[in-house]
Amino acid sequence: MNVVINGQDESIDVTTLAQLCKGLTDHPNFIATAVNGEFVTVGERATRQLHEGDKIEILSPRQGG
Amino acid sequence: MSKPSFSLYGTQLSSRLLLGSALYPSPRALQGAVKSSGTQIVTLSLRRESAQDSSASDFWGLIQTLDVNLLPNTAGCRTAKEAITTALMGRELFDTKWVKLEVIANDDTLQPDLFGLVEATKELSAQGFQVFPYTTEDLGAAEKLLGAGAEILMPWGSPIGTGRGLMNPYALKTMRNYFPKVPLIIDAGIGAPSHASSAMEMGYDAILLNTAIAKAGDPGRMGQAFKLAIEAGRLAYEALMIEERDMAQPSTPVAGTPFFDLETR
């Protein structure tokens, strides 16, 4: 399935957001997620099914003013 | 020194400086500035995670050693919807109701989008957030922000990162006088400790800044300079400064002046 992750086109072979996060980061507790502009809580990731063309944001803490 | 009677959304604070965590030459410099400035609130952001980049976990580890209140921002958001989603993500990650709400209208000036700001403030307040809105000195927008649920206002001094100080002191004084009971924080544009001190002398409750300390030649010493300037400004405000006069007035008593009765010409 083709999706967009953090602005990059990607092809993935997982079906849930939790599976995607597990494969992308070693720090699942340091990230927050959104799909198609909607916040997805940590608790919802396991049941959040991904679909063709979804735009996924995976964010982590950074310096900020 | 100044009375520790400063409170933001019920959190008692002794420091009136809120400090940004970006642009420091090193993590150690950030640590040093936090310590020397005495700040108890540090702002931070959310950015895209990269599997190849360990800086997020390094930064998070550093932040947790600082023993400060965290104020996540929505920097870079250009719509209320983006800001709301970012705020929700920040609340989960940082476990705080606080959000430094930024909705940016213009890339050149980084001017707040006041319409989007009010919209996002209303929604986030309804969802239990305690909003710190980055706004201008516009009184109409300020009233709408308060009506939308904000209990604090953060007008800009001048555009973010410019270091130009208080661009419109007349309007900032008016805002202070118009909202005597609302905590007001100058956010953005502060370049020198004297700028911060001037704002505090006007009666502003606190200063939020980043670049002026982070990009200073010695962020640690500049942090201390801002700490002292903000405390001095606050003390001066509480001590009630004299009114300006147009004409000179001698400070030494005129009565008893010697040679008063001699011709001088």
Q: Does B30 touch chain A (CB under 8 A)?
A: yes
Nearest to A63 among B21, B49, B160 (CB): B21
CA–CA gap between residue B235 and residue B2 (Å, rounded): 6
- Check CB contact under 8 Å for B211 and A65: yes
Enzyme catalytic residues of B:
100
Q: Is the CA virtual torsion B2, B5, B7, B13 positive or negative?
A: positive
The per-residue pLDDT for range B87-112, each reduced to its tens digit, is 999 999 999 999 999 999 999 999 99
A44 within domain boundaries: yes
- With an 8 Å Cβ cutoff, is B223 touching chain A? no
Residue ranges of B 127-186 with Cβ closer than 8 A to chain A? 160
Residue A47 inside a domain? The answer is: yes
Contact assessment for residue B100 and residue B88, using Cβ atoms and an 8 Å cutoff: no
A17 within some domain? yes
The C-alpha angle B236, B2, B218, rounded to 5 degrees, equals 85
Q: Is A10 contained in some domain?
A: yes
Q: Is B49 on the interface with A (CB under 8 A)?
A: yes
Condensed to tens digits (0 to 9), the pLDDT of residues A13-65 reads 999 999 999 988 777 778 999 999 999 999 999 999 999 999 999 999 999 99
Within chain A, what is the greatest distance between any pair of CA atoms?
37
Read off the pLDDT of residues B239-265 as tens digits, 9 standing for 90 and up: 999 999 999 999 999 888 888 778 766
Average the pLDDT over B29-38 and give the result. Answer: 97
Is residue A13 one of the residues assigned to a domain?
yes
Whether A34 and A41 have beta carbons less than 8 Å apart is answered as no
Q: What is the reported pLDDT for B264?
A: 66
Yes or no, beta carbons of B49 and A25 under 8 Å apart: yes
Burial code of B215-236, b = ≥16 C-beta within 10 A, e = fewer? bbeebbebbbbbbebbbbbbeb
- Give me the CATH number covering residue A37: 3.10.20.30
B189-241 pLDDT tens trace: 999 999 999 999 999 999 999 999 999 999 999 999 999 999 999 999 999 99
Structural domain contains residue A64: no
ipTM, two decimals? 0.95
CA distance B94 to B70: 7
Contacts of A33 in chain B (CB under 8 A): 89
Q: Let me know if residue A65 belongs to a domain.
A: no
Q: How far is CA B157 from the centre of its chain?
A: 9
Residue A52 falls inside a structural domain:
yes
**Which residue range(s) make up the domain with A12?**
2-59
Residues 6+ apart with CB under 8 A from B1: B231, B235
Taking CB atoms and an 8 Å cutoff, what residues of chain B touch A26? 51, 57
Q: Based on the structure, what is the number of domains in chain A?
A: 1
Kind of pairing between the strands at A2-5 and A55-63: parallel
Q: Does the beta-carbon distance from B93 to A32 stay under 8 Å?
A: yes
